[in-house]
A and B are shown apart, each in its own frame.
Chain A
């Protein structure tokens, strides 16, 4: 149980295009989903926290207009990288949490390469 999936697992796109990444909790309802970014050989960095039905809370330095997060249901959150640039190339990971439980379940990640 407690499986989180991400789609796509990897994506290559041209600079200036937008890319949408989906995060789904497959067998539980996630009240909160988190989006992380990880550059090579660095730690995961929290980008934003999203609660179902409300606006995401972004960490300092993360542009909310560039990284659009939608948490439309208890099983789905999406991250859209708008007008992607090569410096946005990274590994994006989501995690999901059930209210009252202090465990986050991690997705397998999405590797984004912007050419």
Chain B
């Protein structure tokens, strides 16, 4: 059974801080997603990774396939980054995506 573990579960930081959210999984995957869910529920897909590193604006996502680990970084965090960040993986040979429980991020002004 593929488990997706995220840490921390909750994170409160001051505006401007560098944020790191971690995701670990237990089986071979074909892709890993980082999603953002704002209060009210809407989900936005931030990144899809199968190797290496991707950057979009202040967001950076990295993945280490050998260690079965991914990180999402936010530079110069801002209160509007406050949301739940969800890691999700697709196991090799399966259509389904398995979601982590999410990390609730709160950036204080």
Q: Is the CB of A43 within 8 A of B45?
A: no
Residues on B with C-beta less than 8 A from A103 are 31, 33, 45, 48
Name B's interface SS: strand
Report the separation of the CA atoms of residues A103 and B100 in the bound assembly, to the nearest whole angstrom: 17
Known interface pairs A46-B97, A102-B90; A93-B30 also in contact (CB < 8 Å): no
Residue B27 at the A interface, CB < 8 A?
A: no
Number of interface residues of B (CB under 8 A): 21
Report the separation of the CA atoms of residues A115 and B1 in the bound assembly, to the nearest whole angstrom: 36
Residues on A with C-beta less than 8 A from B95 are 32, 49
Of the candidates A43, A45, A107, which one forms a contact with B102 in the assembled complex, judged by CB atoms under 8 Å apart?
A43
Residues on B with C-beta less than 8 A from A43 are 86, 99-102
Residue A104 at the B interface, CB < 8 A?
A: yes
Smallest Cβ distance from A26 to chain B, in angstroms? Answer: 15
Report the separation of the CA atoms of residues A43 and B45 in the bound assembly, to the nearest whole angstrom: 15
> Which residues in chain B, 2-57, are within 8 Å of chain A measured between CB atoms?
30-31, 33, 35, 41-45, 48, 50
Of the candidates B86, B97, B100, B101, which one forms a contact with A104 in the assembled complex, judged by CB atoms under 8 Å apart?
B97
Residues on A with C-beta less than 8 A from B58 are none
Binding site for A on B (CB under 8 A): 30-31, 33, 35, 41-45, 48, 50, 86, 88, 90, 95-97, 99-102
Binding site for B on A (CB under 8 A): 32, 34, 38, 42-46, 49, 91, 93, 102-109, 111
Q: Which 10 A-B pairs have the closest CB atoms?
A: A106-B43, A108-B42, A109-B41, A102-B31, A43-B99, A43-B101, A44-B99, A103-B48, A91-B41, A46-B96
